[in-house]
Amino acid sequence: HVHGYELTQQREAQSSIYGTSFDVQVAGGKDHGFVEHHHHQHEAGHHHDHEARHLADIEALIDGSDLSDTVKHHAKAIFMEIAQAEAAVHHMPLAEVHFHEVGALDSIVDIVGCCIGLELMQIDTIMASPLSDGSGFINVAHGQMPVPVPAVMQMRVGSAIPIQQRLDVHTELITPTGMGLVKTLVREFGPLPENAVPTKVGYGFGKRDTGGFNALRAVLFEKKN
């Protein structure tokens, strides 16, 4: 039960390939999402507290919903992955990691919406190709970050998620949210299944100009008996 957002979708083409541009529009615009907890916060009054949502707040919001247990479990696991990475990167306790008000809403709708969509489509197994990320640096509110961004690198620790780095792309291709989804939900990485029967193919377009074709291709396969 969250308010203050609108979902939009429109058909558009890249390289004459048609797909869907799906967006979560939040009052006040986009935000980075997770931010570190500033120690001078109390000196500035309660302004930050009012606008922040900590991990426990988001977990309580999910637990208090009427979503299915599977959606709740996956959504909370994804938020935990991202929060643990941000806590390690910013050298702070997990409980102190928080979202800006706008970023929290955007992330909640993205992550919970993804889990709901997978359930509605009755997806039981998710496979993925090896991931690709860019190189160089991106500018964020707190300065410059190297690509892959620190939270994404942190989520790679202890996992065998295959990531190739494209030196011809000078921006990020993997966000912390995307990495959290992949690490939590994907069970196997490799080429497209050779013998399974694909039933649908879709393309979701990204907003950022990467200098190339910026889309995620999803293929729905019939489950083998």
Per-residue pLDDT at 51: 57
Contact 151, 82 (CB under 8 A): yes
- Per-residue pLDDT tens digits of the chain, which is 225 residues long: 888 999 999 999 999 999 999 899 988 766 555 554 444 444 444 444 445 789 999 999 999 999 999 999 999 999 999 999 999 999 999 998 887 666 788 889 999 999 999 999 999 999 999 999 999 999 987 789 999 999 999 999 999 999 999 999 999 999 999 999 999 999 999 999 998 999 999 999 988 889 889 999 999 999 876
Identify the pLDDT of residue 101. 60
The residue type of 163 is I
Q: Concatenate the DSSP letters of all residues of 130-155 into one string.
A: PEEE--SEEEETTEEEESS-HHHHHH
Chain segment 76-104, per-residue pLDDT in tens: 999 999 999 999 999 999 998 887 666 78
Query: What is the span of the domain harbouring residue 114?
Result: 5-221
Residue showing tokens 């570190």: 36
Structural tokens at position 43: 């000196």
Retrieve residue 45's tokens: 């009054």
Residues 7 and 24: their CA atoms lie apart, in Å, by 5
Give the Cα separation of 65 and 115 in Å (integer): 14
Mean pLDDT score of the chain, rounded to an integer?
A: 88
Specify the pLDDT at position 114.
Answer: 96
Model-level pTM?
Answer: 0.88
Q: For residue 122, what are the contacts with CB-CB under 8 A and spacing of at least 6?
A: none
Report the Cα 125 to chain-centroid distance in Å.
Answer: 19
Taking a C-beta distance cutoff of 8 angstroms, is the pair 33, 177 a contact? yes
With CA atoms as reference, report the closest residue to 181 among 67, 79, 37, 34: 79
Residue with tokens 């120690």: 39
How many domains does the chain divide into?
Answer: 1
Q: Measure the CA–CA gap between 86 and 80, rounded to whole angstroms.
A: 10
Q: What are the Cα distances from residue 46, in Å, to 5, 37, 40, 50, 54? A: 24, 13, 11, 6, 15
Residue 41 is predicted with a pLDDT of 45
Q: CA-CA distance, 205 to 207, in Å (whole number)?
A: 7
Q: For the chain, how big is the Rg over CA atoms in Å?
A: 18
Q: Put the strands of the sheet holding 34-35 in their side by side order.
A: 34-35, 98-100, 52-54
Q: Taking a C-beta distance cutoff of 8 angstroms, is the pair 25, 6 a contact?
A: yes
CA dist., res. 217 & res. 14, Å (int): 12
